[in-house]
Amino acid sequence: MADNKNIKLRVEDLTLIFGKRKKEALAMLNKGASKEEILRKTKCTVGINKANFKVYEGEIFVVMGLSGSGKSTLIRCLNRLNEPTAGKVFFKDHDITRAGNKELMNTRRNEMSMVFQNFGLLPHRTILDNATFGLELRGDSKEARYERGMEVLQTVGLKGYEEQYPGAMSGGMQQRVGLARALANNTDVLLMDEAFSALDPLIKSDMQDELLQIQGKLHKTIVFITHDLDEAFKIGDRIAIMKDGVIEQIGTAEEILSNPASDYIKAFIEKVDRKTVITAETLMFRKPTIVQFGKDGPKGAIRKMRSTGVYVLPVENSEHKFLGYVELADMIQLAREKERTVEKALKTDVPSVHKDYTVEQMIPLISNNSYPVAVVDKEEGKLIGLVTQTSIVIEATRYDDDEVIELIEKANEI
């Protein structure tokens, strides 16, 4: 994601050390001492080690890692629930690590709301009162906050439950209330700390889908903490993977899968289902040889096939819009019939996708035809590349012959 996008949060050399001898520990850290050495000599624990990243407006930025990696410690530094030992956190170019108590309270109430793992609902208040609790603390009138509360409860799918109490609701529904409460304040940034980790798998998946649907409408800036790599890859626009307080790599799911930055990242992503992440943009080859409709006739198509060593070529019009494919045998037949255009033999009922289609989404498209999958842009249908069937199968199965056979059999049943 390019830096010309609006930056909502910017973190520079953020460091947090737990213990009484923080200054000594920080000095050691700045000289290159390891986390273990600092703990041994000072009894201090390095929670965050010089973290640097940017969060752009409207993105879901996921911070993930195993237990003890520092991810939850990090998110609490962003609104200073944890006080950083060193470094800076800029919110819209304002350093909140220097903010006074009044300014910090205003930031938490009006600019950064938080959703916690344990829901944090008040059991003796109705769902509507829980959803509007932040607005009550802010001093909004009862009429105004109830109006806003009803809006956000509808957004999270809880319309009709406003007079219920938390104890009568499932875990998934309680987490929806927590999300509604965060949305009610209409803050610029949502901080979500392991928000779905306490839910059972089915409800967790539903909440992930719900979050993505809400994000599609509201375009919030979200920092999301998780220990679940599949969850990170599902919802994150970009992902930061942490280990021992250090950010090991930042990138999209596809960037991390395609170019892991360390052996730790390689091991971490080894069991990821790649076919749900790798997209057509990664697999496609660009600038394929094409037949131009209205300009290239059968003989021109044959000449291009001979020079490239293929028996099928994509066809596009003068505006570069993808039309379909032509095959060598058909071109030879049309040339014998002295046809001047390829129109009679143009195969138009063929697969095409956009560049963000995953391998999993492309698998059904390769059954019952022998054509590559055309990758076209969303706006005008212009051809930008081709994905071969071989590359789809290999990426989906990671060279597992039995899985290749099973995959092809399933595809042919679709």
**pLDDT > 70? residue 344:** yes
One-letter identity of residue 338: K
Per-residue pLDDT, 369:
78
Q: How confident is the model at residue 217 (pLDDT cuts 50, 70, 90)?
A: confident
**pLDDT > 70? residue 198:** yes
**pLDDT > 70? residue 251:** yes
Least confident of 2-16, 26-40, 294-308, 311-325: 2-16
- Is residue 333 included in any domain, yes or no? yes
- Is residue 16 included in any domain, yes or no? no
- Is residue 90 included in any domain, yes or no? no
Element (DSSP H or E) covering residue 348: none
SS3 content of the chain, % helix, strand, coil (to 5): 45, 25, 35
**pLDDT > 90? residue 221:** yes
pTM for this predicted structure:
0.72
- Is residue 374 included in any domain, yes or no? yes
Q: What is the mean pLDDT of residues 333-356?
A: 93
Number of Cβ within 10 Å of residue 261's Cβ equals: 14
- Is residue 354 included in any domain, yes or no? yes
Per-residue pLDDT, 401:
47
CB 345 within 8 A of CB 327: yes
Q: How confident is the model at residue 414 (pLDDT cuts 50, 70, 90)?
A: very low
Per-residue pLDDT, 201:
77
Number of Cβ within 10 Å of residue 175's Cβ equals: 26
Q: How confident is the model at residue 398 (pLDDT cuts 50, 70, 90)?
A: low
**pLDDT > 60? residue 2:** no
Q: How confident is the model at residue 44 (pLDDT cuts 50, 70, 90)?
A: very high
Locate 277 and state its tokens: 């992440």
Q: What is the mean pLDDT of residues 342-359?
A: 91
366 CB-side CA count, 13 A: 22
Per-residue pLDDT, 14:
96
Find the domain containing 357 and state its range: 281-396
Per-residue pLDDT, 312:
93
Per-residue pLDDT, 413:
47
* Domain CATH number, residue 304: 3.10.580.10
> DSSP state, 368?
T
- Is residue 356 included in any domain, yes or no? yes
Alpha carbon dihedral 244, 247, 248, 254, in 10-degree steps, equals: 130
- Is residue 291 included in any domain, yes or no? yes
**pLDDT > 80? residue 202:** no
CB 315 within 8 A of CB 383: no
pLDDT digits (tens, 9 = 90+) for 148-187: 999 999 988 889 999 999 888 888 888 889 888 888 888 8
pLDDT digits (tens, 9 = 90+) for 84-142: 999 999 998 889 999 888 888 888 888 898 887 776 788 899 999 999 998 888 888 99
Q: What is the mean pLDDT of residues 315-331?
A: 93
**pLDDT > 80? residue 72:** yes
As a whole number of angstroms, the distance between CA 168 and CA 361 comes to: 39
As a whole number of angstroms, the distance between CA 46 and CA 25 comes to: 8
> DSSP state, 98?
G
List residues bridging with 314 in a β-sheet.
Answer: 325
Q: What is the mean pLDDT of residues 308-337?
A: 93
- Is residue 315 included in any domain, yes or no? yes
* Residue whose C-alpha is closest to residue 302's, from 256, 334, 350: 334
List residues bridging with 193 in a β-sheet.
Answer: 225
What is the count of structural domains for the chain?
1
Per-residue pLDDT, 407:
53
